[in-house]
Amino acid sequence: TTLFEGMPGRNCTQATEFSLAGFTEDMATQVTLFLLFLLTYLVTILGNLGMITLIRASALLHSPMYYFLGNLAFVNVCTSTTITARVLVGVLLGKKGITYAGCMAQIFTFGLFVVTECFLLAAMAYDRYVAICHPLLYPLVMSPERCSWLVTSSYLLGLTNGMGQAIGMSSLFFCSSSTINLFFCDISMLISLSSSDTTLSLIILRTSSCLLGVPSLLVVLVSYVAIISTILSISSAEGKCKALSTCASHLTALSTFYGPLIFMYLIPRSDTSRGGDKWAAMLYTVVTPMLNPWIYSLRNREVKEAWRRLRKIK
């Protein structure tokens, strides 16, 4: 470790490890939370891997929407492993700390997958827009090449964000007593803890939020404004219900993902008013990846039919 000049008039030792606050100090509550996290992780992995397998195995699901959904399931597995699995390992080993290198890796991987998910959800909204508003053009617009380009772009934009956030963190210095009031490394929390100049990190965080998060959200909003307008113009009640049913699962997934993200990163708050961050973060890092495969399967006739056919073959 080295000494550096941090806050005016203070010297401190550069941190090689951070302490994660977690949820509680009570041992009984920790055991209960561990079991809940373990159950959530197992359901997440089984549900998302099952969705990927079903999409690959069933010809019924070889369409653009399920191509995006398969990639979303993969991203959910990666996000859950990055966050939830790390929490489980920490509890099992009795360690609340995370090394500087481990924190850097977590920020990079989480930054990669959270933005990738934003753009995959935007691509799925665009897919629903074309299917409902321009059904005759759907095979041409949502061609395999276009779908592949949308997915590849989502991963590349996620990679750009992950690298940017890692670079932003690498420019920060922390005192050895730094404690992160979350269960994982979050760049916005780390910025508030740093005892060095945070200008570069804040610029990267705000730029990525504006250039990556906001455009993907705008694509979703514009797509659904057009979709709702088209649905309202349908004369029959049956036609309206059928069109709405194709969007219900996606809208549910959007609300559970974007709601907490907006609360965490786009609503300005002081450090003293961030008490709800821990629970908001748990929604989009732990709960949403678990819910997504069930949201898209329980009310989806095509998925149910594909599952029935696959069981009959076996």
Q: What is the pLDDT of residue 38?
A: 92
Tell which residue, 177, 168, 170, has the closest CA to residue 13.
177
Rounded CA gap, 39 and 287, in Å? 11
pLDDT over threshold 60, residue 273: no
Average pLDDT rounded to a whole number, residues 288-298: 84
pLDDT above 90: percentage of residues in the chain: 33
Confidence of residue 275 (pLDDT cuts 50, 70, 90): low
Q: What is the pLDDT of residue 299?
A: 65
Rounded CA gap, 309 and 314, in Å? 9
Residue keyed to tokens 């993969």: 74
Confidence of residue 5 (pLDDT cuts 50, 70, 90): very low
Q: Could you report how far apart the first and last alpha carbons of the chain are, in Å?
A: 59
pTM over 0.85: yes
Confidence of residue 134 (pLDDT cuts 50, 70, 90): very high
Kindly report the number of other CB atoms within 10 A of residue 2's CB atom.
Answer: 6
How is the chain split among helix, strand and coil, in percent rounded to 5? 75, 5, 20
Confidence of residue 179 (pLDDT cuts 50, 70, 90): confident
Domain 17-296: CATH superfamily is Rhodopsin 7-helix transmembrane proteins (1.20.1070.10)
The segment with the largest mean pLDDT, out of 2-6, 211-215, 269-273, is 211-215
Q: Mean pLDDT score of the chain, rounded to an integer? A: 83
> Is the model more confident about 137 or about 198?
137
Q: Delimit the domains of the chain by residue range.
A: 17-296
Beta pairing partners, 97: 19
pLDDT over threshold 80, residue 3: no
Q: What is the pLDDT of residue 174?
A: 81
pLDDT per position as a tens digit, 221-261: 999 999 999 888 888 877 778 777 778 788 888 888 887 77
> Is the model more confident about 101 or about 157?
157
Q: What is the pLDDT of residue 159?
A: 95
pLDDT over threshold 90, residue 8: no
How far from the centroid of its chain's Cα atoms is residue 299's Cα? 22
Q: What is the pLDDT of residue 271?
A: 55
CB 299 within 8 A of CB 249: yes
pLDDT per position as a tens digit, 197-216: 778 788 887 888 788 888 89
pLDDT over threshold 50, residue 1: no
pLDDT over threshold 50, residue 9: no
Q: What is the pLDDT of residue 99?
A: 86
Confidence of residue 183 (pLDDT cuts 50, 70, 90): confident
